[in-house]
Amino acid sequence: MELRQLRYFVAVATELNFRRAAERLHIAQPALSQQISKFEKELRTPLFRRTTRSVELTEAGRVLLLQGRRVLAESDHALSAVRHAAHGDIGLLRIGFVSSAALSIVPRSVLAMQRSWPGLHLELAEATTDAQLESIGEGRLDVGIAREMDMATGLVVRRIHRERLIVAVHESHRLAARDSVELAELAGERFLTFPRHQVSRLYDHIAALCHRAGVRLEAAQEAVQFPTLLGLVAANTGITIVPDCLRVLRLPALRYVPLTDPPAYSTVSAVCRADRQDAPSVRNFLATVTGLRFDDA
Protein backbone atom coordinates (compact mmCIF):
# COMPACT_ATOMS: atom_id res chain seq x y z
CA MET A 1 0.00 0.00 0.00
CA GLU A 2 1.28 3.46 -0.95
CA LEU A 3 0.29 6.70 0.74
CA ARG A 4 -0.69 8.07 -2.68
CA GLN A 5 -3.17 5.24 -3.15
CA LEU A 6 -4.54 5.82 0.32
CA ARG A 7 -5.02 9.52 -0.39
CA TYR A 8 -6.88 8.72 -3.60
CA PHE A 9 -9.12 6.28 -1.76
CA VAL A 10 -9.90 8.72 1.09
CA ALA A 11 -10.76 11.46 -1.40
CA VAL A 12 -13.25 9.23 -3.24
CA ALA A 13 -14.64 7.80 0.02
CA THR A 14 -15.19 11.30 1.36
CA GLU A 15 -16.81 12.69 -1.78
CA LEU A 16 -18.53 9.43 -2.85
CA ASN A 17 -18.16 10.84 -6.34
CA PHE A 18 -15.23 10.11 -8.68
CA ARG A 19 -15.54 13.37 -10.62
CA ARG A 20 -15.48 15.59 -7.54
CA ALA A 21 -12.66 13.53 -6.01
CA ALA A 22 -10.63 13.84 -9.22
CA GLU A 23 -11.10 17.62 -9.20
CA ARG A 24 -10.05 17.75 -5.56
CA LEU A 25 -6.93 15.71 -6.33
CA HIS A 26 -6.20 17.63 -9.55
CA ILE A 27 -6.00 14.48 -11.67
CA ALA A 28 -8.11 13.10 -14.54
CA GLN A 29 -11.15 11.07 -13.55
CA PRO A 30 -10.22 8.00 -15.68
CA ALA A 31 -6.78 7.91 -14.08
CA LEU A 32 -8.34 8.07 -10.62
CA SER A 33 -10.74 5.23 -11.43
CA GLN A 34 -7.83 3.12 -12.67
CA GLN A 35 -5.84 3.76 -9.49
CA ILE A 36 -8.77 2.78 -7.26
CA SER A 37 -9.37 -0.42 -9.26
CA LYS A 38 -5.67 -1.27 -9.00
CA PHE A 39 -5.80 -0.59 -5.25
CA GLU A 40 -8.78 -2.91 -4.82
CA LYS A 41 -7.01 -5.68 -6.74
CA GLU A 42 -3.93 -5.34 -4.49
CA LEU A 43 -6.15 -5.57 -1.40
CA ARG A 44 -8.16 -8.39 -2.98
CA THR A 45 -11.44 -6.84 -1.88
CA PRO A 46 -13.82 -4.22 -3.29
CA LEU A 47 -13.85 -0.90 -1.46
CA PHE A 48 -16.81 0.65 -3.29
CA ARG A 49 -20.14 -0.48 -4.68
CA ARG A 50 -20.57 1.39 -7.95
CA THR A 51 -23.80 1.95 -9.85
CA THR A 52 -24.60 4.32 -12.66
CA ARG A 53 -26.14 6.69 -10.14
CA SER A 54 -24.09 6.33 -6.95
CA VAL A 55 -20.90 5.23 -5.22
CA GLU A 56 -21.10 3.56 -1.80
CA LEU A 57 -18.50 2.19 0.56
CA THR A 58 -18.34 -1.52 1.25
CA GLU A 59 -17.80 -2.71 4.81
CA ALA A 60 -14.10 -3.08 4.01
CA GLY A 61 -14.15 0.43 2.58
CA ARG A 62 -15.67 1.85 5.75
CA VAL A 63 -12.96 0.22 7.89
CA LEU A 64 -10.21 1.43 5.57
CA LEU A 65 -11.60 4.99 5.59
CA LEU A 66 -11.42 5.14 9.39
CA GLN A 67 -7.89 3.74 9.52
CA GLY A 68 -6.75 5.56 6.38
CA ARG A 69 -7.63 8.99 7.73
CA ARG A 70 -5.63 8.19 10.87
CA VAL A 71 -2.62 6.99 8.86
CA LEU A 72 -2.68 10.09 6.63
CA ALA A 73 -2.98 12.41 9.63
CA GLU A 74 0.01 10.72 11.29
CA SER A 75 1.94 10.90 8.03
CA ASP A 76 1.22 14.61 7.67
CA HIS A 77 2.24 15.16 11.29
CA ALA A 78 5.50 13.27 10.73
CA LEU A 79 6.31 15.26 7.60
CA SER A 80 5.55 18.50 9.41
CA ALA A 81 7.83 17.45 12.28
CA VAL A 82 10.64 16.69 9.83
CA ARG A 83 10.27 20.10 8.21
CA HIS A 84 10.27 21.84 11.60
CA ALA A 85 13.32 19.87 12.71
CA ALA A 86 15.10 20.80 9.48
CA HIS A 87 14.58 24.46 10.38
CA GLY A 88 15.53 24.01 14.04
CA ASP A 89 11.96 24.64 15.23
CA ILE A 90 11.74 21.44 17.28
CA GLY A 91 14.10 18.94 18.82
CA LEU A 92 16.65 19.12 21.64
CA LEU A 93 19.46 21.64 22.10
CA ARG A 94 21.95 20.91 24.92
CA ILE A 95 23.54 24.10 26.24
CA GLY A 96 26.40 24.42 28.70
CA PHE A 97 27.15 27.67 30.53
CA VAL A 98 29.55 29.12 33.08
CA SER A 99 27.92 30.07 36.37
CA SER A 100 28.36 33.82 35.93
CA ALA A 101 26.43 33.69 32.63
CA ALA A 102 23.36 32.52 34.59
CA LEU A 103 22.92 36.06 35.93
CA SER A 104 22.07 37.74 32.63
CA ILE A 105 23.20 36.04 29.43
CA VAL A 106 21.52 32.67 29.97
CA PRO A 107 18.08 34.02 31.00
CA ARG A 108 17.90 36.48 28.11
CA SER A 109 19.21 33.95 25.60
CA VAL A 110 16.80 31.22 26.71
CA LEU A 111 13.83 33.60 26.64
CA ALA A 112 14.76 34.77 23.14
CA MET A 113 15.06 31.16 21.93
CA GLN A 114 11.73 30.21 23.51
CA ARG A 115 10.00 33.13 21.80
CA SER A 116 11.37 32.28 18.37
CA TRP A 117 11.37 28.46 18.60
CA PRO A 118 8.82 27.42 21.26
CA GLY A 119 8.90 23.80 20.11
CA LEU A 120 12.64 23.44 20.70
CA HIS A 121 13.51 21.87 24.06
CA LEU A 122 16.53 23.47 25.74
CA GLU A 123 18.54 21.32 28.13
CA LEU A 124 20.81 23.49 30.32
CA ALA A 125 23.91 22.41 32.23
CA GLU A 126 26.21 24.57 34.35
CA ALA A 127 29.90 23.77 33.78
CA THR A 128 33.28 25.44 33.66
CA THR A 129 34.65 26.46 30.28
CA ASP A 130 37.10 23.55 30.12
CA ALA A 131 34.40 21.04 31.12
CA GLN A 132 32.13 22.44 28.42
CA LEU A 133 34.83 22.09 25.77
CA GLU A 134 35.31 18.44 26.70
CA SER A 135 31.55 17.78 26.54
CA ILE A 136 31.21 19.63 23.23
CA GLY A 137 34.09 17.65 21.76
CA GLU A 138 32.52 14.36 22.87
CA GLY A 139 29.07 15.35 21.62
CA ARG A 140 27.42 15.55 25.05
CA LEU A 141 26.74 19.29 24.58
CA ASP A 142 25.69 21.05 21.40
CA VAL A 143 26.81 24.56 22.37
CA GLY A 144 28.50 26.26 25.28
CA ILE A 145 28.56 29.72 26.83
CA ALA A 146 32.17 30.10 27.95
CA ARG A 147 34.69 32.68 29.16
CA GLU A 148 38.07 33.73 27.75
CA MET A 149 37.81 31.58 24.63
CA ASP A 150 40.21 31.98 21.72
CA MET A 151 39.87 30.31 18.37
CA ALA A 152 40.68 26.61 18.54
CA THR A 153 40.99 23.83 15.98
CA GLY A 154 37.67 22.14 15.35
CA LEU A 155 35.67 24.78 17.22
CA VAL A 156 33.59 27.80 16.25
CA VAL A 157 33.82 30.68 18.75
CA ARG A 158 31.39 33.62 18.53
CA ARG A 159 31.70 36.50 20.96
CA ILE A 160 28.52 37.27 22.90
CA HIS A 161 29.64 39.89 25.38
CA ARG A 162 32.68 41.82 26.60
CA GLU A 163 32.35 43.15 30.12
CA ARG A 164 34.60 45.14 32.41
CA LEU A 165 36.27 43.50 35.37
CA ILE A 166 35.52 45.02 38.76
CA VAL A 167 36.99 44.82 42.24
CA ALA A 168 34.74 43.78 45.13
CA VAL A 169 35.81 45.29 48.48
CA HIS A 170 34.42 45.72 51.98
CA GLU A 171 32.81 49.10 52.68
CA SER A 172 35.62 49.92 55.10
CA HIS A 173 38.30 49.29 52.49
CA ARG A 174 40.50 52.18 51.40
CA LEU A 175 39.13 51.92 47.83
CA ALA A 176 35.44 51.52 48.72
CA ALA A 177 34.55 55.17 48.01
CA ARG A 178 36.44 55.34 44.71
CA ASP A 179 34.67 55.57 41.34
CA SER A 180 37.38 53.47 39.72
CA VAL A 181 40.75 51.90 40.39
CA GLU A 182 43.83 50.72 38.49
CA LEU A 183 45.21 47.23 38.91
CA ALA A 184 48.56 48.61 40.10
CA GLU A 185 46.80 50.04 43.16
CA LEU A 186 45.92 46.51 44.30
CA ALA A 187 49.53 45.55 45.07
CA GLY A 188 49.87 43.98 48.49
CA GLU A 189 46.14 43.25 48.85
CA ARG A 190 44.78 40.01 50.28
CA PHE A 191 43.16 38.32 47.29
CA LEU A 192 40.27 35.89 47.40
CA THR A 193 40.11 33.76 44.25
CA PHE A 194 38.48 30.69 42.77
CA PRO A 195 40.66 27.56 42.41
CA ARG A 196 42.74 27.73 39.26
CA HIS A 197 42.23 24.02 38.49
CA GLN A 198 38.46 24.59 38.32
CA VAL A 199 38.20 28.04 36.70
CA SER A 200 41.52 28.11 34.88
CA ARG A 201 40.74 30.39 31.94
CA LEU A 202 39.28 33.31 33.90
CA TYR A 203 41.87 32.84 36.66
CA ASP A 204 44.77 32.89 34.18
CA HIS A 205 43.29 35.92 32.40
CA ILE A 206 43.04 37.92 35.64
CA ALA A 207 46.47 36.71 36.82
CA ALA A 208 48.04 37.83 33.53
CA LEU A 209 46.44 41.28 33.82
CA CYS A 210 47.72 41.61 37.37
CA HIS A 211 51.22 40.50 36.33
CA ARG A 212 51.31 43.16 33.61
CA ALA A 213 50.38 45.75 36.23
CA GLY A 214 53.09 44.54 38.60
CA VAL A 215 50.66 42.87 40.97
CA ARG A 216 51.00 39.27 42.14
CA LEU A 217 47.68 37.42 42.29
CA GLU A 218 48.40 35.12 45.22
CA ALA A 219 45.31 33.59 46.77
CA ALA A 220 44.92 34.15 50.51
CA GLN A 221 41.76 32.04 50.34
CA GLU A 222 39.85 30.16 47.63
CA ALA A 223 36.15 29.52 47.00
CA VAL A 224 34.48 27.69 44.14
CA GLN A 225 31.32 29.80 43.82
CA PHE A 226 31.14 33.54 43.11
CA PRO A 227 28.52 34.17 45.84
CA THR A 228 30.88 32.55 48.35
CA LEU A 229 33.75 34.78 47.26
CA LEU A 230 31.60 37.88 47.57
CA GLY A 231 30.30 36.75 50.96
CA LEU A 232 33.88 36.46 52.17
CA VAL A 233 34.61 39.96 50.88
CA ALA A 234 31.53 41.24 52.72
CA ALA A 235 33.01 39.62 55.82
CA ASN A 236 36.11 41.79 55.27
CA THR A 237 38.49 38.87 54.73
CA GLY A 238 39.97 40.26 51.49
CA ILE A 239 39.15 41.56 48.00
CA THR A 240 38.34 39.81 44.74
CA ILE A 241 38.25 40.62 41.03
CA VAL A 242 35.10 39.50 39.20
CA PRO A 243 33.22 40.22 35.94
CA ASP A 244 30.83 43.17 36.03
CA CYS A 245 27.76 40.90 35.81
CA LEU A 246 28.36 39.92 39.44
CA ARG A 247 27.36 43.47 40.43
CA VAL A 248 23.75 42.27 40.64
CA LEU A 249 24.70 40.26 43.74
CA ARG A 250 24.37 42.85 46.50
CA LEU A 251 25.38 42.16 50.09
CA PRO A 252 25.55 44.46 53.08
CA ALA A 253 28.96 46.13 53.39
CA LEU A 254 29.96 45.05 49.86
CA ARG A 255 31.18 47.63 47.34
CA TYR A 256 32.13 47.26 43.66
CA VAL A 257 34.79 49.42 42.00
CA PRO A 258 35.45 49.24 38.21
CA LEU A 259 38.98 48.64 36.92
CA THR A 260 40.12 51.27 34.42
CA ASP A 261 43.03 49.39 32.84
CA PRO A 262 42.26 49.15 29.08
CA PRO A 263 42.60 45.33 28.90
CA ALA A 264 40.67 44.70 32.13
CA TYR A 265 37.71 42.99 30.44
CA SER A 266 36.29 39.50 30.39
CA THR A 267 34.87 38.00 27.20
CA VAL A 268 31.93 35.60 27.02
CA SER A 269 31.53 33.54 23.85
CA ALA A 270 29.27 30.92 22.34
CA VAL A 271 31.19 27.78 21.35
CA CYS A 272 30.29 24.76 19.24
CA ARG A 273 32.01 22.11 17.18
CA ALA A 274 32.82 23.30 13.68
CA ASP A 275 31.04 20.31 12.15
CA ARG A 276 27.87 21.20 14.10
CA GLN A 277 27.61 24.92 13.38
CA ASP A 278 25.20 24.39 10.47
CA ALA A 279 22.84 22.13 12.41
CA PRO A 280 19.57 24.13 12.39
CA SER A 281 19.10 24.45 16.16
CA VAL A 282 22.78 25.31 16.71
CA ARG A 283 22.72 27.84 13.87
CA ASN A 284 19.59 29.46 15.32
CA PHE A 285 21.14 29.62 18.79
CA LEU A 286 24.34 31.25 17.55
CA ALA A 287 22.38 33.82 15.56
CA THR A 288 20.11 34.56 18.52
CA VAL A 289 22.72 35.00 21.27
CA THR A 290 25.13 36.99 19.12
CA GLY A 291 22.26 39.29 18.13
CA LEU A 292 21.42 40.21 21.72
CA ARG A 293 22.96 43.19 23.47
CA PHE A 294 24.29 42.99 27.00
CA ASP A 295 25.57 46.57 27.35
CA ASP A 296 28.68 45.66 25.38
CA ALA A 297 31.80 47.65 26.07
* Chain segment 110-143, per-residue pLDDT in tens: 999 999 989 899 999 999 999 999 999 999 999 9
Can you give the residue ranges of every domain in the chain?
A: 3-86, 91-159+267-291, 163-264
- The pLDDT of residue 76 is 79
* Count of Cβ atoms closer than 10 Å to residue 11 Cβ: 20
- The pLDDT of residue 84 is 61
- The pLDDT of residue 200 is 84
pLDDT digits (tens, 9 = 90+) for 220-244: 999 988 999 999 999 999 999 999 9
Average predicted confidence (pLDDT) for the chain: 91
268 contacts: CB under 8 Å, gap ≥ 6 = 98, 101, 105, 145, 146, 147, 159, 160, 161, 162, 163
Cβ(158)–Cβ(143) below 8 Å: no
- The pLDDT of residue 229 is 94
58 contacts: CB under 8 Å, gap ≥ 6 = 45, 46, 47, 48, 49
Mean pLDDT confidence for 144-151: 92
Q: Is the pTM of this model over 0.85?
A: no
**pLDDT band, residue 285 (cuts 50/70/90):** very high
- The pLDDT of residue 224 is 85
pLDDT digits (tens, 9 = 90+) for 158-178: 999 999 999 999 999 999 999
Using CA atoms of 220, 215, 199, 110 in order, give the dihedral in degrees to the nearest 10.
Answer: 120
**pLDDT band, residue 91 (cuts 50/70/90):** confident
Mean pLDDT confidence for 2-25: 89
Would the pLDDT of 296 be above 60? no
Are the folds of 3-86 and 163-264 the same? no
- The pLDDT of residue 89 is 64
Class of the CATH-defined domain 91-159+267-291: alpha beta
> Cα–Cα distance between 69 and 84 in angstroms, integer?
22
- The pLDDT of residue 218 is 87
- The pLDDT of residue 259 is 97
CATH architecture label of 3-86: Orthogonal Bundle (1.10)
Would the pLDDT of 35 be above 80? yes
- The H-or-E segment that residue 75 falls in is helix 59-86
Cβ(232)–Cβ(238) below 8 Å: yes
- The pLDDT of residue 171 is 97
Would the pLDDT of 6 be above 50? yes
- The pLDDT of residue 5 is 87
CATH number attached to the domain at 163-264? 3.40.190.10
